[in-house]
Amino acid sequence: MAKSKGKILVVDDNSGIRAALKVLLPMHFAQVEVIPSPNELISRMVDFRPDVVLLDMNFHTDINTGNEGLFWLSEIKKRCPEIEVVLFTAYADIQLAVEGMKRGAFDFIVKPWDNEKLVETLKAAYDNRSKEAKEASQTPPSSLNMLWGKGQAMSVVRKTVEKIAPTDATVLITGENGTGKDVLAGEIHRMSERALRPMVCVDAGALTETLFESELFGHVKGAFTDAHTDHVGKFEQADGGTLFLDEIGNIPLHLQAKLLRALQNRSITRVGDTKAIPVDIRLICATNKDLEKMVREGEFREDLFYRINTMHLHLPALRDRVDEIVPLAEMFIAKYAERYRRPVQGITPEAAEILKTHYWGGNIRELQNCIEKAVILSDGESLTASDIELPQSRSPQNTNPAMAGNDTLEETEEKAIRAAMARYGGNLSMVAKSLNISRPTLYAKLKKYNI
């Protein structure tokens, strides 16, 4: 059996079974983790993000009714309904199997198991999970929410988008990772006259050299060893619509000429063929790199740069769009509360303040991941300060940029401590944790600065 891309989490208290599955499953799946107790199940799901959970139904020698397994099955489905669960039991109880299926289990495996049957069942569960994920991912980027906010920088971007979207002008979007360049590209497509035509997205930086031409321009049957059928490339798929090339700055220099030729000629030639096929596309590109610097250093073709840079839009970092942080968080809360069936409906002022003062080196993507994890682990109706787990600030001064300036180190430190005290309402444990110092050290500094 070919190795799958699936991530499998095994929960079983029998060390012998765990050892056997540690040997068997990695031969068939990309990543496998095993844990002995369901008590750490929820936290491992958040960190590991499995596709399938193989869940034992009994974890105590004096309890063998399967009720514990059914409880944890319900917990998994309540928090992460998209994860498939295969139940694992030593008792061939059909009624228990039916009950497990009613509660959302994908299938049921009886111990002692047949290796081939077990792997086939997990593979089927993963395939079902992948199918559902693929269907969800086929929602066009233009349907995602573009939150403009009220800041000056985004106001300028929005006005420019409103002017250029109805045209066929080529657009280059720049900005740090996680700023939402793909979402902006989808918004431009949605507002264009091509909105009813396809928008085809390509991670240009992920294309290997051997697949570059085949993926973008297609190939004919027999063009190379594995070319068993004709393949339509991304340019043809986007004909009449929009082609979005993400991470264009990662395309190797020698392959840039092939892309430039297709853009100049407005036609492509499939690998293994000689016939030119005309294509009508609107091109949008995105990168987190400084292409002008790359041009100066000979790493990016100047002629290609001017070809893709008819209109330039720059998305500012989230830390420069503070007014958007809480509205974005609320949007993500609603999204993940519905997805994971959690009761969360809002966010407390203290938690909101924490979000507003964080550096957000990962931008909107980091905020989204933070809120997703908080929603999964929270049991209340509002996210609180204790629900928000953030790494220590990664700003150059390791403090909020608003504190930067001509201050001395001691002045900067005092401001950081005062801000943390205000942010956490004087909770010394949380203040110490946020500043990455011990409580005794915090006490000494509070005394030093008379706080």
User: 220 Cβ partners below 8 Å, 6+ apart?
Assistant: 227, 230, 231, 270, 271, 272, 273
Lowest pLDDT segment from 130-134, 141-145, 231-235, 348-352: 141-145
Q: What is the pLDDT of residue 217?
A: 94
Q: Is the pLDDT of residue 153 over 50?
A: yes
Q: Is the pLDDT of residue 133 over 90?
A: no
Q: Is the pLDDT of residue 266 over 80?
A: yes
**How far apart are the C-alpha atoms of 3 and 61, rounded to whole Å?**
35
For 322-333, how does the pLDDT look when each residue is reduced to its tens digit (9 = 90+)? 888 999 999 999
Torsion of CA 368, 366, 424, 413, to 10 degrees: -160
**How far apart are the C-alpha atoms of 278 and 268, rounded to whole Å?**
6
Query: How many CB atoms are closer than 10 A to CB 365?
Result: 15
At residue 298's C-alpha, the angle toward residues 296 and 304, to 5°, is: 90
**Residue 306: Cβ-neighbour burial (10 angstroms; 0-12, 13-18, 19+):** exposed
Q: Which domains does the chain have, with CATH numbers?
A: 7-134 (3.40.50.2300), 151-314 (3.40.50.300), 319-448 (1.10.8.60)
Question: Span 85-114, mean pLDDT?
Answer: 82
Q: Single out the residue of 110, 13, 20 nearest to residue 68, CA to CA.
A: 13
The alpha-carbon radius of gyration of the chain (Å, integer) is 26
| Residue % of the chain over a pLDDT of 90 | 51
Lowest pLDDT segment from 90-99, 296-305, 385-394: 90-99
For 335-389, how does the pLDDT look when each residue is reduced to its tens digit (9 = 90+)? 999 888 889 999 999 999 999 999 898 999 999 999 999 999 888 999 999 899 8
Q: What is the largest CA-CA distance in the chain?
A: 79
Q: What is the pLDDT of residue 139?
A: 43
Question: How large is the angle between the packed helices 181-190 and 152-164, nearest 10 degrees?
Answer: 40
Q: What is the pLDDT of residue 44?
A: 85
DSSP codes joined into one string, 48-91? H--SEEEEES--BTTB-SSHHHHHHHHHHHHH-TTSEEEEEESS
- pLDDT band of 63, cuts 50, 70, 90: very low
| Residue % of the chain over a pLDDT of 70 | 89
- For residue 413 the two structure tokens come to 């430190």
**Residue 252: Cβ-neighbour burial (10 angstroms; 0-12, 13-18, 19+):** exposed
For 199-208, how does the pLDDT look when each residue is reduced to its tens digit (9 = 90+)? 999 998 788 8
At residue 282's C-alpha, the angle toward residues 235 and 267, to 5°, is: 40
**Identity of residue 360:** W
Regarding predicted confidence, which is higher, 248 or 3? 248
Q: What is the pLDDT of residue 426?
A: 76
pTM over 0.85: no
Q: What is the pLDDT of residue 308?
A: 97
Torsion of CA 406, 411, 413, 418, to 10 degrees: -120
Query: How many CB atoms are closer than 10 A to CB 68?
Result: 17
Q: What is the pLDDT of residue 185?
A: 96
Q: What is the pLDDT of residue 392?
A: 60
- For residue 260 the two structure tokens come to 């430039």
Q: Is the pLDDT of residue 397 over 60?
A: no
Give just the sign of the alpha carbon dihedral 20, 128, 130, 4.
positive
Q: What is the pLDDT of residue 164?
A: 96
